[in-house]
């Protein structure tokens, strides 16, 4: 008949296995079935693993209590996956980690079986209880004599009773003999005056709180008559008398006789924090203390401090395992030079045998007998050490060690105590570590997104270098240096240096300039570079010796203060990451820490990711700079080399191409000599802007010069240019052009012959202020083949100005308004008496001020003025 039942459901995740084990253990111990707890926990672990890992479904665990047995059922929601019952007797290799579930059921369970339904599969096992004497609540197995705990021939059990205020009311004879205090001398005094609380640090209660609990069990100390602290193990029970007055009965034995009182099946009894809270004590909190730190670093630091105090050590340290469990990284320490050791790494398997692996507990009685056994403690003065692993569900997550300066300090008993503490905090540490990793992952993603945006926002090489350094300092490192490599035949060149303290930049730059740059190794990942730290310390030493008059006085000396500051700035770990873009090393990113500091692996991984993005951005900036230089050189070749000096005529040009990086667009101009006394000028506008228009610009400007110098008239020059443009086929673009030839005269005037092919008409400003067109409109070029053009003759008298512009001037817009020919004429009318340069400048200002937006079209302004004759003095 079933006398009790307990059930729970566990999610299909790995941590559910440990939770299910705890559920079964607590249930059976609560029923008083401690004899079968171990077997039940082992079998439950195997069956729940099959359900949540292999079947991949939630697991239902049900514990059934019978008069003389317990039955445990584990159900999953995947009945289609049948158990391979034939494997129950299959031979399994001793080193194989799986396949033992059914074999264990056969070996440990009294009976077991499998039941299938439409929706579930139930695997159950039954464990029969051993025969007990009547009234037995729990019992341990029969042990050989040599395995029994030690005790004196006469075990003294002190019985101490205290009232609700903690005052001693009873003190038996064993207590007097054990502690040396007669009963009449201690009765009426607080127990807290004699108790040294706690003997084992880390408990979450003081003596006063423990005495108010309904039940408490654990270790502390009691001062004897000589003032020495005697370690004891005690059990406290809160009782009340017939009048309802509460008191606490304390049973105390020597610590090494704790087996007399300790519950063998349950260890420390779960107690209540208080009637008002009704919450059981967490074994983790009993070691760490409450409240526990909410951050990983705080939790690890608290752990090493409690571990050191628990074993009365001189130092303690905690290492966390990497994801592949091949290395351990120092994350917290006390009593050691933590700044030097923090984030240092050691291998998990440091050597052969048990003591070379961090996966097993180890005790080193004297480190001087085995030099290098614990590299982390080299040079620290520690002689003995005990280390234990931190494991979660069988996976190594870290290592906890306590060291002492004296040899032979620790035994296997201390290792077991430390392992017990490590087991209590391992899951909390792993949970905090995963939380920190998630926080770092999110922070890293945000950092890389921001870095990518910043790097993508510029194509300037120097700005890219500055951004690379500013993104790493101080977020990833204390200082940074960027080396660049121009080409495969070039040596690395120091391009940028940054430190979080601006006063240190010059010193680091001078130091790195004296060193050979790191090798441009394309291998991905960060590699150590010790040259800066070594050189800085050597320089500081020499500077200090010179300041004492012991060095080479003939050498120019850096002040010891500056040298020491530089040594401290670069005295930590320095790493180099290659900048690889398009399968070529284009530079190196060097990151450094200040004195005695090291990089975390997560930071190095983030820096490596950043270096890949930065390398591509730097290479893009390099390519952009190179191509911009080539483009600008080609564009400048399309412009006239300069304006010629024409006797008796002032000439001025204003030219601006639309588009970023364009020096030449669709608008163009030229002024050039044709033959003695004759000068040619032209201003034109190719359809469109940018490089395509610039190509036609080059064709037009060079063709004009060539045809004009061959002696062709103005109309003939333009007709032949029209044919050349049409010959370009699909690449041809129509062109508006104003072309003219000018002959300065001896009387101070100038005669012009002008042809205007579809171009804005030139304007003539007379000295009287009258503005009038200087030509007639004619068809543009590049549209029709049979083009017939004529030229007009214009004479510029002294003081007259000829203004030639492109449509970027006349078509300047502000909303629906346009400057137009009339607006241009109005501006020109105000330029009477101005030089050619002043006229061009005023026209340009008028165009720019007409609208608030920047001009979107090319603009060219050509002004020619015949100056007035100078009056005799």
CA 496 to chain centre: 22
At 352 the pLDDT is: 46
At 169 the pLDDT is: 95
Region label for 674, one of left (φ > 0), alpha (ψ between -120 and 50) or beta (otherwise)? alpha
Q: Which residue, of 247, 281, 315, is where some domain finishes?
A: 281
Distance CA 83, CA 197 (A): 54
Q: Which residue, of 567, 602, 628, is where some domain finishes?
A: 628
Does 180 share its domain with 244?
yes
Does 616 share its domain with 652?
no
Dihedral, 221, 224, 228, 231 alpha carbons, nearest 10: -30
Does 645 share its domain with 708?
yes
- Count of domains forming the chain: 5
Share of the chain above pLDDT 90, in %: 30
Alpha helices in 256-372 (DSSP H): 283-288, 296-310, 338-341
139 within domain boundaries: no
CA 832 to chain centre: 68
pTM of model > 0.85 = no
Look at 691-705, 730-744, 810-824 and tell me which has the smallest mean pLDDT: 691-705
Residue 176's domain is classified under what CATH number?
A: 3.30.450.20
Cα separations in angstroms, 469 against 12, 286, 446, 572, 630: 46, 47, 18, 18, 29
Residue 732's domain is classified under what CATH number?
A: 3.60.40.10
Does 754 share its domain with 776?
yes
Instruction: Give the bridge partners for 755, in sequence order.
Output: 739
Distance CA 403, CA 421 (A): 16
743 within domain boundaries: yes
- Residue 147: pLDDT band by 50, 70, 90 thresholds? low
119 within domain boundaries: yes
309 within domain boundaries: yes
Look-up of token digits 């967490």: 282
Does 668 share its domain with 543?
no
pLDDT average, residue stretch 339-350: 64
Distance CA 220, CA 233 (A): 7
Does 234 share its domain with 89?
no
- Residue 673: pLDDT band by 50, 70, 90 thresholds? very high
Mean pLDDT: which of 361-365, 367-371, 727-731, 740-744 is highest?
Answer: 740-744
Dihedral, 616, 621, 622, 624 alpha carbons, nearest 10: 120
Does 522 share its domain with 424?
no
Does 355 share its domain with 374?
yes
Residue 383's domain is classified under what CATH number?
A: 3.30.450.40
452 within domain boundaries: no
CB contact burial 436-470 (16+ within 10 A = b; e otherwise): eeeebeeebeebbeebeebbeebeebeebbbbbbe
Q: Is the model more confident about 248 or about 326?
A: 248
Distance CA 762, CA 821 (A): 10
Are the CB atoms for 508 and 559 separated by under 8 Å?
Answer: no
Does 320 share its domain with 273?
no
Q: What residue numbers bound the domain in which 160 lies? A: 151-281
Look at 147-151, 224-228, 267-271, 323-327 and tell me which has the smallest mean pLDDT: 267-271
387 within domain boundaries: yes
Return the structure tokens found at 515: 């060193």
137 within domain boundaries: no
- Residue 616 in this model has a pLDDT that exceeds 50: yes
Q: What is the pLDDT of residues 176-212, one digit of tens each?
A: 999 999 999 999 999 988 887 653 333 345 678 778 8
Dihedral sign for Cα atoms in the order 513, 519, 525, 531: negative
Distance CA 11, CA 52 (A): 7
Does 757 share its domain with 854?
yes
607 within domain boundaries: yes
Q: What is the pLDDT of residues 531-559, one digit of tens each?
A: 888 887 787 777 766 666 665 554 544 55
Q: Is the model more confident about 354 or about 383?
A: 383
Instruction: Give the bridge partners for 185, in sequence order.
Output: none
- Residue 588: pLDDT band by 50, 70, 90 thresholds? very high
pLDDT average, residue stretch 664-689: 86
Does 658 share its domain with 806?
yes
At 652 the pLDDT is: 95
Does 578 share its domain with 469?
yes
Q: What is the pLDDT of residues 68-86, one digit of tens each?
A: 899 999 998 876 655 555 4
Q: Is the preceding omega at residue 291 within 30 degrees of 0, hence cis? A: yes
- Residue 754: pLDDT band by 50, 70, 90 thresholds? very high
Share of the chain above pLDDT 70, in %: 82
Q: Which residue, of 281, 314, 348, is where some domain finishes?
A: 281
Q: What helix, strand, coil percent values describe the chain, rounded to 5?
A: 35, 25, 40
């Amino acid at each position: 008949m079933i006398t009790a039942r307990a059930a729970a459901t566990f999610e299909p995740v790995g941590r559910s296995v440990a939770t299910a084990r705890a559920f079964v253990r607590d249930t059976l111990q609560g029923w008083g079935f401690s004899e079968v707890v171990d077997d039940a926990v082992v079998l439950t672990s195997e069956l729940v693993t099959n359900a949540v890992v292999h079947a991949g479904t939630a697991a239902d665990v049900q514990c059934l209590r019978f008069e003389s047995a317990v039955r445990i059922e584990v159900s999953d929601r995947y009945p289609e996956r049948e158990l391979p019952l034939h494997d129950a007797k299959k031979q399994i290799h001793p080193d194989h980690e799986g396949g033992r579930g059914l074999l264990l059921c056969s070996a440990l369970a009294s009976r077991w079986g499998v039941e299938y339904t439409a929706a579930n599969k139930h695997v159950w096992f039954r464990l029969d209880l051993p025969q007990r004497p009547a009234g037995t609540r729990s019992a341990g197995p029969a042990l050989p004599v040599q395995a029994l705990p030690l005790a004196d021939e006469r075990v003294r059990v002190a019985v101490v009773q205290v009232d609700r205020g903690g005052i001693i009311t009873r003190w038996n004879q064993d207590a007097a003999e054990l502690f040396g205090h007669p009963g009449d001398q201690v009765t009426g005094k607080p127990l807290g005056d004699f108790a040294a609380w706690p003997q084992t640090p880390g408990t979450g209660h003081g003596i006063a709180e423990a005495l108010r609990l309904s039940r408490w069990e654990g270790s502390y100390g009691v001062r004897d008559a000589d003032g020495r602290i005697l370690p004891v193990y005690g059990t406290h029970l809160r009782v009340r008398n017939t009048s309802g007055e509460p008191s606490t009965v304390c049973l105390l034995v020597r610590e090494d006789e704790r087996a007399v009182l300790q519950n063998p099946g349950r260890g420390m009894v779960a107690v209540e924090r208080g009637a008002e809270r009704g919450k059981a004590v967490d074994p983790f909190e009993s070691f760490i203390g409450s409240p526990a730190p909410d951050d990983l670093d705080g939790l690890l630091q608290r752990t090493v401090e409690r571990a050191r105090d628990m074993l009365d050590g001189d130092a303690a340290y905690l290492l966390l395992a990497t994801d592949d469990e091949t290395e351990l990284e120092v994350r917290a320490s006390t009593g050691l030079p933590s700044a030097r050791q923090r984030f240092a790494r050691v291998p998990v398997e440091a050597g052969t045998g048990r003591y070379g692996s961090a996966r097993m507990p180890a005790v080193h009685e004297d480190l001087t007998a085995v030099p290098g056994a614990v590299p982390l403690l080299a040079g620290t003065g520690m002689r003995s050490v005990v280390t234990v692993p931190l494991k979660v569900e069988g996976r190594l997550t870290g290592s906890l060690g306590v060291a002492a300066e004296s040899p032979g300090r620790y035994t296997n008993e201390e290792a077991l105590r430390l392992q017990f503490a490590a087991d209590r905090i391992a899951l909390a540490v792993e949970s905090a570590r995963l939380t920190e990793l998630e926080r770092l992952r999110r922070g890293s993603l945000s950092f890389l997104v921001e870095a990518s945006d910043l790097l993508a926002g510029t194509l300037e090489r120097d700005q890219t270098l500055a951004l690379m350094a500013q993104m790493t300092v101080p977020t990833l490192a204390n200082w940074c240096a960027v080396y660049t490599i121009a080409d495969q035949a070039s040596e690395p060149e120091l391009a940028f240096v940054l430190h979080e303290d601006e006063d240190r930049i010059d010193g680091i730059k001078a130091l790195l300039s004296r060193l050979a740059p790191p090798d441009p190794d394309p291998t991905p990942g960060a590699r150590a570079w010790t040259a800066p730290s070594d050189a800085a310390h050597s320089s500081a030493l020499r500077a200090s010796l010179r300041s004492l008059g012991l060095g080479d006085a003939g050498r120019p000396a850096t002040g010891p203060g500056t040298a020491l500051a530089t040594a401290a700035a670069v005295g930590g770990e320095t790493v180099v990451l290659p900048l690889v873009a398009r399968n070529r090393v284009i530079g190196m990113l060097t990151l450094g820490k200040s004195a005695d500091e090291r990089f975390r692996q997560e930071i190095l991984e983030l820096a490596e990711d950043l270096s890949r993005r930065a390398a591509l951005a730097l290479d893009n900036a390099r390519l952009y700079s190179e191509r911009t230089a080539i483009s600008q050189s080609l564009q400048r070749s399309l412009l006239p080399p300069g304006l010629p000096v024409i006797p008796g005529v002032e000439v001025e040009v204003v030219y601006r191409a639309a588009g970023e990086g364009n020096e030449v667009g669709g608008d163009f101009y030229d002024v050039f000599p044709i033959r003695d006394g004759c000068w040619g000028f032209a201003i034109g506008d190719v359809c469109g802007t940018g490089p395509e228009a610039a190509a036609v610009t080059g064709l037009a400007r060079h063709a004009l010069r060539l045809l004009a110098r061959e002696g062709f008239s103005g109309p003939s020059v333009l007709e032949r240019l029209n044919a050349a443009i049409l010959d370009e086929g699909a690449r041809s673009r129509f062109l508006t052009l104003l072309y003219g030839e000018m002959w300065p005269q001896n009387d101070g005037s100038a005669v012009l012959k002008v042809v205007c092919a579809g171009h804005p008409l030139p304007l003539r400003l007379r000295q009287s202020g009258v503005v009038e067109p200087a030509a007639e409109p004619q068809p543009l070029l590049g549209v029709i083949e049979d083009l017939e053009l004529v030229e007009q003759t214009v004479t510029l008298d002294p003081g007259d100005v000829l203004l030639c512009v492109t449509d970027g001037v006349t078509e300047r817009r502000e909303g629906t308004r346009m400057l137009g020919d009339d607006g241009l004429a109005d501006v020109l009318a105000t330029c009477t008496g101005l030089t050619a340069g002043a006229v061009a400048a005023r026209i340009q200002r008028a165009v720019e001020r007409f609208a608030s937006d920047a001009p979107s079209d090319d603009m060219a302004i050509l002004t020619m003025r015949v100056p007035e004759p100078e009056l005799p003095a």
